[in-house]
Structure 1
Amino acid sequence: MNWLKRYAFNWLRLGDVALNVATGGDANEMLSSRAGKQMLKGKRWACVLCRILDRIPFFGPGHCLKSINPDDGANATIPD
Structure 2
Amino acid sequence: MKQIGAYLWNVLIAIDQLGNALLGGWHDETISSRVGKSILKGGWASTVSWPVWLYDHFIGSVEPDEGWDKSY
Please report how far the alpha carbon of residue 49 of structure 1 lies from its aligned counterpart in structure 2 after TM superposition.
8.1
Aligned mates of 1:22, 1:49 — CA distance in 2 = 22
1:1-80 pair list within 5 angstroms: 2-44=2-44, 46-47=45-46, 51=50, 54=53, 62-74=56-68
The one-letter amino acid paired with 1:51 is W
Root mean square deviation, CA, Å: 2.8
Contact 1:35/1:50, CA 8 A, preserved across alignment: no
TM-score (norm 1): 0.68
TM-score (norm 2): 0.74
Q: Closer, same or farther in 2 for the Cα pair 1:38/1:8, shift >3 Å?
A: same
The one-letter amino acid paired with 1:7 is Y
Q: Which consecutive unaligned segments of at least 5 residues does structure 2 have? A: none
Count of matched residue pairs: 69
Q: Which consecutive unaligned segments of at least 5 residues does structure 1 have? A: 56-60, 76-80
